[in-house]
Amino acid sequence: MSDESILPNSQSTTPTQTPWWISDSQPLPAPIPVRRIATVTWYMAVAMSLLAGVVGALIGRSSFVGSNQLVSVHNSVERAPNSIAGIAARVSPSVVEIDCESSAGSDTGSGFFINNNGYVMTNNHVVEGAVLSGGKITVKLFDNHFYTAKLIGRDTSYDLAVLKIDLTNTAALQLGDSDKVEVGDAVIAIGSPLGLQGTVTSGIISAKNRPVTTSSDTSAGESSYIDALQTDAAINPGNSGGPLVDASGAVVGVNSAIASLGQNTSGQPGSIGLGFAIPINQAKKTAEQLIKSGHSTYPIVGLSLDSAFTGPGAKIANIPTAIKAGGPAEKAGLHAGDIILEIDGQPIATASDMVVAIRSHSVGDTINLKYQRGTVTKSVSVTLVASQ
């Protein structure tokens, strides 16, 4: 049983309109009788007026068209480098489409170059099916060139994976600092939703530190726990693994999950403005580990939690193996049955909240736990260690 595991029950036709040239008015009244000379004179006057008008119109049109005072119009519109169009033009060539073939069929996701040697970051759930079934992963570049990809490593705990294609001098995206992102900051998502490569959507950061838990159909019950950035930029199936960039074009998140109230016409959930991205600071650490060794770790306290506990708080399971021998929790004096109420002053509502909060830190960080044992509330400091 993995550390910080959550033990089950431990003991989503326009109507026809009358043309303007057809009058709905009553017929004109009969002309007033006049003397013939007067009638001839009237016709001549009308003819002269019409002729003058036509000549004047022709002269006026000729004068307007031939005028040298017209403002010149350029054939192209200049856009600022920091506009959405400018950022999209710079970022899009480094974003790729990922096509996966597995025993269950085919699927599409997104990814982006993180260095100049052909390394691509994406979500684990994008490639997992192909990896487990011995399928094929293909990377499609912005210029429509295709490359067979090799899996460097994947991490189910953070829903991340790194691929590599046989290509050098790839234009990599700049990785920003997700810790500096603030609610309300403008962001842009780029990817291949529903297989539509190069799709650009924009919005803002709607919230930070959202505890998001996702699970895969193929990972035998393994879940990913994300301390996510929430955005209202439209994110749909196929955007997974693509970059969420800030107003400078730097990546601040890896698009990973969406919330949906229903199904669209293709049978897939659509965007309702609730998208979630893995903060790039976490994704960067995981990617570096995967590139270096093919494996990655995450921080743990060394305990198992009871998913049946309804809170508030996260309850340590009442089983003999709930506290890992020699782990941080044991060294801190935590016991089975203790209820974790806060981590670093932030309230913990559920077991998932606690796992997300811990995994948002790094190995070696020291955190403060406030917990309840019976009727007594205590606090203790715990230094996180790496998962095995």
CA distance linking residue 289 with residue 297, whole number of Å: 8
Domains and CATH numbers, the chain: 84-164 (2.40.10.10), 178-293 (2.40.10.10), 298-386 (2.30.42.10)
Q: Where are the alpha helices (DSSP H) in the chain?
A: 36-65, 84-91, 124-132, 280-293, 328-331, 351-359
Active site residue 248: no
Catalytic: 335?
Answer: no
Q: Out of 3, 99, 159, 227, which one is annotated catalytic?
A: 159
Q: Please state, in angstroms and rounded to a whole number, the distance separating the CA atoms of residues 312 and 263.
A: 33
**Separation CA 334–CA 311 (nearest Å):** 18
User: What is the distance between the alpha carbons of residues 348 and 311, in angstroms, rounded to a whole number?
Assistant: 9
What does the pLDDT profile of the chain (388 residues) look like in tens digits?
A: 445 666 655 443 444 443 333 334 344 344 434 333 333 344 444 445 544 454 444 444 444 444 455 665 556 667 788 899 999 999 999 999 999 999 888 999 999 999 999 999 999 999 999 999 999 999 999 999 999 999 999 999 999 999 999 999 999 999 999 999 999 999 999 999 999 999 999 999 999 999 998 876 555 557 889 999 999 999 999 999 999 999 999 999 999 999 877 654 455 667 788 999 999 999 999 999 999 999 999 999 999 999 899 889 999 999 999 999 999 999 999 999 999 999 999 999 999 999 999 999 999 999 999 999 999 999 999 999 999 7
Residue 24 annotated as catalytic: no
Q: Which of 10, 157, 240, 307 is catalytic?
A: 240
Give the span between the Cα atoms of 165 and 174, in whole angstroms: 19
Write out the two tokens for 107: 């699927």
Report the phi/psi class of residue 195: left, alpha or beta, with left for phi > 0 and alpha for psi in -120 to 50: left
Helix, coil or strand: residue 353: helix
pTM of the model: 0.78
Gap between the Cα atoms of 91 and 145, Å rounded: 17
The radius of gyration of the chain's CA atoms, rounded to the nearest angstrom, is 33
Among residues 3, 5, 10, 125, the one annotated as catalytic is: 125
